[in-house]
Amino acid sequence: MVGNIILYFVVALVIVIFSFMAIRTDKILRAATYLLFVLLGSAVFYFQMGYQFLGAVQIAVYAGGIMVLFVFAILLTHKPNDKAAPMESHRRIAGAVAAGIGTALLLYALFTMPMVCSSNGTMLSLGEALSGDQITMKMIGEAFTGTNRFQYLLPFEAVSVLLLASIIGGVTVGRKR
């Protein structure tokens, strides 16, 4: 219980700080590294909420796949000591205002709107939310391979086609002419 809370605070802090640093740093490679930490923090949240498979996918795909792509891209397109200079100040102010208002608005909405569970009408704590059945691999596998209600064979196949298309597309676009 207390461990959960401590873990939460650590991870939340990591996410907030590294999100900030990822967008503030001058060096792109560092930004990518900070993004990696944010993604890993999100994965920890998934684990904490009982989505082990999702957390694993997050680490494998994002941290393992996408980050490698980022790093390769950065290394290919950057000379050493390149600085990523930010935009002129009025754009920065506009962005800050947009982000600030957005945050304020979302937080206001979060704390004023009722966020209650659909089944019993109360705001669940993490323990209560986790008290039900665990999500097993069998359930996930069945969800992805059936065609009944709450089963997703068609989107699954569509995503596989998409990935294939993006592989081919990536090769075609990126290849030297």
Q: Which two tokens stand for residue 18?
A: 């590294």
Give residue for tokens 């298309």.
Answer: 165
Nearest Cα to Cα of residue 33 among 81, 71, 61, 6: 71
Quick one: 80 or 102, whose CB is closer to other proteins? 102
Q: How far is CA 126 from CA 3, 98, 117, 130, in A?
A: 13, 32, 12, 6
Binding-site size, other proteins (CB under 8 A): 99
CB count in 10 Å sphere of residue 92: 11
Amino acid 20 reads F
To the nearest 10°, the Cα dihedral for 81, 87, 89, 93? -120
Quick one: 80 or 176, whose CB is closer to other proteins? 176
CB of 6 to other proteins, least distance (A): 11
Yes or no: say if 27 and 83 are a contact pair by the CB < 8 Å rule.
Answer: yes
40 forms part of the interface with other proteins (CB under 8 A) = no
Widest CA span in the chain: 61
Give residue for tokens 């998409």.
Answer: 162
CB of 17 to other proteins, least distance (A): 10
Quick one: 49 or 148, whose CB is closer to other proteins? 49
CB of 120 to other proteins, least distance (A): 10
Ranges within 79-98 binding other proteins (CB under 8 A): 84-87, 91-92, 94-96, 98
CB of 94 to other proteins, least distance (A): 6
Ranges within 105-164 binding other proteins (CB under 8 A): 105-112, 115-119, 123-132, 135, 139-140, 143-144, 150, 152, 155, 159, 162-163
Ranges within 43-82 binding other proteins (CB under 8 A): 45-46, 49-51, 53-54, 57-58, 61-62, 65-66, 69-70, 72-74, 76-78
Give residue for tokens 């503030």.
Answer: 24
CB of 127 to other proteins, least distance (A): 7
